[in-house]
């Protein structure tokens, strides 16, 4: 087989007209992705909690749907509505997830543990469960989950439920890729510390002090800066693009070199 022929490199963003679903579309990373997608002209639907959509509404050009991603009937209704309008989707990006006030596993009650696990992991299952049938009818379809640096590296105590859930996302992504190959590419993105509302509880959730010494944290990062939501949106668009057509089952770390 010849290896020296040259072909024009494919686009590093999804094609115009792509049907893009952004779960968590009003969050810090989600709304940057939605705006960036508008610039390259995909059809976009932003999905988030009612409070989040009210606080950070997308532009009039973006279809928005309120949804609780931990509730099966709510997720099913969203994808029924998308099916009715579009009949298929090309790309699904799932940014859903949060953590609560730091507390050790020893001192955590079951309700708080379950709330975080449902918000990070069960929601990812539900989004995958109800989006895959529509993705199978899409054009070059992709599903992108969100893990975290905490899924592989837990440098601080008090994040047991969150870290466990985000570690599980990595293997859920691998399992989904195996089940969906070769029709749907499934990957995950693992953000490091990103400057969004997540640091104070998350969009649409009760705010709490972040308790982060940003100057001290920056000193631990090889890139010497906190991540920006644009860093995540750019990688999400790349993973949905034709340029990433041979990338699946991967967790891509975007963390300024904190872990590799």
Kindly tell me if the per-residue pLDDT of 217 is higher than 90: no
Query: Who wins on pLDDT, 109 or 259?
Result: 109
Give residue-wise pLDDT tens across range 167-206. Answer: 999 999 999 999 999 999 999 999 998 988 766 555 655 6
Task: Estimate the crossing angle of helix 72-86 against helix 123-135, to 10 degrees.
Answer: 20
Quick: pLDDT tens for 150-166: 999 877 789 999 999 99
Q: Which candidate, 62, 38, 61, 64, places its Cα nearest to that of 51?
A: 64
The mean per-residue pLDDT over the stretch 85-100 comes to 96
Given a contact cutoff of 8 angstroms between Cβ atoms, the answer to whether 21 and 45 are in contact is yes
Instruction: Look at residue 258 in the predicted model and tell me its pLDDT.
Output: 81
User: What stretches of the chain adopt beta strand conformation (E)?
Assistant: 19-23, 43-48, 63-66, 91-94, 142-146, 185-191, 251-254
Indicate whether 224 pLDDT > 90.
no
Peptide bond just before 244 cis, omega within 30 deg: no
Query: How confident is the model at residue 208, as a pLDDT?
Result: 58
- Average per-residue pLDDT in the chain? 92
The whole-number pLDDT of residue 212 equals: 63
Total residue count of the chain as it appears in this document:
260
pLDDT of residue 5: 72
Residue 108 burial (C-beta neighbours within 10 Å; 0-12, 13-18, 19+):
middle
Could you list the active site residues? Answer: 162
What CATH number does domain 19-254 carry, 3.40.50.300, 3.30.565.10, 3.90.1150.10, 3.40.50.720? 3.40.50.720
Q: Average of pLDDT values for 129-158?
A: 94
**What is the value of pTM for the model shown?**
0.92
| Band of pLDDT at residue 209, cut at 50, 70 and 90 | low
And the tokens for 111? 């309700």
Per-domain boundaries in the chain: 19-254
C-alpha distances in Å from residue 4, one per residue of 1, 7, 115, 243? 9, 10, 53, 19
Q: Are 23 and 93 in contact (CB under 8 A)?
A: yes
Q: How far apart are CA 168 and CA 150, in angstroms?
A: 11
* Sheet of strand 43-48, all strands in order from the earlier edge strand to the far edge: 63-66, 43-48, 19-23, 91-94, 142-146, 185-191, 251-254
């Amino acid at each position: 087989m010849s290896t020296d022929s040259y072909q024009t490199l494919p686009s590093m963003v999804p094609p115009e007209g792509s049907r893009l679903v952004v779960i968590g579309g009003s969050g810090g990373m989600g709304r940057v992705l939605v705006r960036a997608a508008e610039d390259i002209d995909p059809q976009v639907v932003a999905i988030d909690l009612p409070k989040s959509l009210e606080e950070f509404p997308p532009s009039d050009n973006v279809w928005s749907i309120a949804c609780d991603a931990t509730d099966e009937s709510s997720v099913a209704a969203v994808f029924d509505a998308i099916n009715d309008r579009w009949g298929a989707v090309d790309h699904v990006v799932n940014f859903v997830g949060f953590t609560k006030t730091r507390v050790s596993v020893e001192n955590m009650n079951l309700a708080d543990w379950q709330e975080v696990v449902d918000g990070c992991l069960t929601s990812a299952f539900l989004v995958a469960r109800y989006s895959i049938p529509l993705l199978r009818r899409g054009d070059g379809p992709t599903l992108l989950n969100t893990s975290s640096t905490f899924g592989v590296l837990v440098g601080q105590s008090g994040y047991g439920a969150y870290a466990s859930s985000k570690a599980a996302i990595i293997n859920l992504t691998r399992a989904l890729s195996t089940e969906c190959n070769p029709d749907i590419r499934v990957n995950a993105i693992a953000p490091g510390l990103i400057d969004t509302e997540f640091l104070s509880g998350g969009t649409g959730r009760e705010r709490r002090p972040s308790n982060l010494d940003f100057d001290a944290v920056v000193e631990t990062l090889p890139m010497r800066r906190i991540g920006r939501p644009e860093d995540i949106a750019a990688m999400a668009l790349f993973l949905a693009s034709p340029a990433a057509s041979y990338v699946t089952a991967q967790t891509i770390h975007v963390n300024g070199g904190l872990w590799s």
